[in-house]
Amino acid sequence: MSNTPETTVVVAKKPAMAHKSIVNESREIERAVTLIDLGARLQVLESETTLSYERLLRLYKEVAGRSPSKGQLPFSTDWFLTWQENIHSSLFLNIYEYLSKSSAGDDIDMLIKAYRLYSEQMVATEVEPLLSFTRAWRLVKFVDAHMLTMTTCSQCHGHYVTEPYENSRYFVCGLCNPPARAGKGKNAGGLRLH
């Protein structure tokens, strides 16, 4: 960080405020670095920090060692509703909602915590983590926008990501009623049903 003349003037006039803004800024940078480490796309960083696009771009290249991928973020809710992806999404959202109810903090910090727990769970069960951080972030946005919700399975009573108008009286989740070919794949790291 360069010590520009403007910064010096601010520090001389209002030391308390300048101190506060430096603390805030370092928190923002720390948050951005964490997000990059978790594989978040640049659009997520832009949305969740107040740092400028140019700074984020530089930070991204420095931390990730490459340029961020270009292109739009996935917009459709379909991904979260396909069988295997739905199980991953549901697991993540259960963790996220549990954390949101039981502890205080910014939404993004909760999302980071929930994503770490989800990833640890995947490592422990040797399942490939299908849900990327950007997808997890998108999922929470879809739920906030009431484009997706959680519905209780009428058989196992687990909570699953569904479309908002799913009827909970008849809803059966993908684990209780898997598609015919589900869990038969030979892919290492895929979900297996016993």
First and final C-alpha spacing in the chain: 55
Pick one of 107, 155, 179, 189: the residue that binds Zn ion (CB under 5 A): 155
Nearest to 22 by CA among 47, 43, 3: 3
Cβ-based nearer residue to Zn ion, 49 or 162? 162
Pick one of 156, 184, 185, 189: the residue that binds Zn ion (CB under 5 A): 156
87 binds Zn ion (CB under 5 A): no
Only one of the segments 49-57, 62-70, 94-102, 145-153 lies at the binding site for Zn ion (rule: CB under 5 A); that segment is 145-153
Number of residues that bind Zn ion (CB under 5 A): 5
153 binds Zn ion (CB under 5 A): yes
AA letter at 70: K
AA letter at 45: L
DSSP summary character for residue 74? P
176 binds Zn ion (CB under 5 A): yes
56 binds Zn ion (CB under 5 A): no
Least Cβ distance, residue 103 to Zn ion (angstroms): 27
Helix boundaries (H) for the chain = 5-13, 15-37, 42-48, 53-64, 83-102, 107-125, 133-144
Nearest to 137 by CA among 25, 29, 35: 35
Least Cβ distance, residue 166 to Zn ion (angstroms): 13
Residues that bind Zn ion (CB under 5 A): 153, 155-156, 173, 176
